[in-house]
Amino acid sequence: MTLLVLGANPCITLYDGDRTTAFASVWRVDWSTHGSGHALVLGTRERIRIIGPDLELAAWLGTEFNRHLTAVRSGIEWREPELTAAPVEFRLDLERGLDVVGDDVSVTIAGPIDRFLTRNDEYDLGGTPMILSTVWIPCAEGSIAVGGGRLPGAPRVDPDGPSSTAFIAEAEVWCTADHPRH
């Protein structure tokens, strides 16, 4: 097994009725095979944007991970991303939630409902088997704004599940599933 990424990957998917309007995936990479830092991947029905101070790291995260996270980008077609070199300000409080600003995009995820340790030893990442473990924290609310204007839609929340399309994934670890070593 090869360790690829250690960090956090909070995400939000917005819906207007049954229609997906946007998604945002925010990365805090503490260590990876491509370096460390922050990145923001935004998908709307019109375009995909990848924002980060290190465009090599940000593009790798977007194209190798977010491109294949169909549950996160449900209903948003992946297309050639627009890359923007800009700082990504990442503020995470595990009691309250997340606030992120990158270029003209801001993401808020708030109101943690519960916390779970999850592990999937056969996560299908675009046909590549991966091991994914994370502390998954579904949240009650969230929003995405571009240029100061809030994008339409809201996350889908089931407090009884509990589940939400606005969540914090902390202590996230991605590994290849090949050649296990013990």
| Mean local confidence (pLDDT), 64-84 | 95
Whether residue 29 contacts residue 57, with contact meaning beta carbons closer than 8 Å, is answered with yes
Residue 181: inside a domain, yes or no? Answer: no
Inside any domain, residue 61: yes
pLDDT at position 30: 98
With respect to residue 164, please indicate whether it lies within any of the assigned structural domains: yes
Mean pLDDT across the chain: 96
127 burial class (0-12, 13-18, 19+ CB within 10 angstroms)?
exposed
Distance of CA 128 to the CA centre of its chain: 19
Average pLDDT over residues 59-68: 97
Q: 58 pLDDT band (50/70/90 cuts)?
A: very high
Q: Tens digits of per-residue pLDDT, 162-177?
A: 999 999 999 999 999 8
Exposed e or buried b per residue across 99-124, where buried means at least 16 C-beta atoms within 10 angstroms of its C-beta:
bbbbbebbbbbbebbeeeeeeeeebe
Report the alpha-carbon distance of residue 41 to residue 24 in Å, rounded: 6
> Does residue 84 belong to any structural domain of this protein?
yes
Give CA–CA dist 174/75, Å, rounded. Answer: 24
Number of domains in the chain: 1
Is residue 80 domain-resident? yes
| Phi, psi (deg, nearest 5) at residue 5 | -145, 140
pTM across the whole model: 0.95
pLDDT of residue 179: 52
Is 26's pLDDT higher than 80? Answer: yes
CB contact at 8 A, 142 and 150? no
- Residue 56 has phi, psi (to 5 degrees) of -65, -45
Asked, for residue 182, whether it belongs to a domain, the answer is no
- Total length of the chain: 182
pLDDT of residue 178: 75
The answer, yes or no, to whether residue 81 has pLDDT greater than 80, is: yes
Beta-carbon contacts of residue 57 (< 8 Å; ≥ 6 apart): 29, 32, 34, 35, 36, 37, 39
Domain that holds residue 15: 3-176
pLDDT tens-digit profile of 127-156? 999 999 999 999 999 999 999 999 999 999
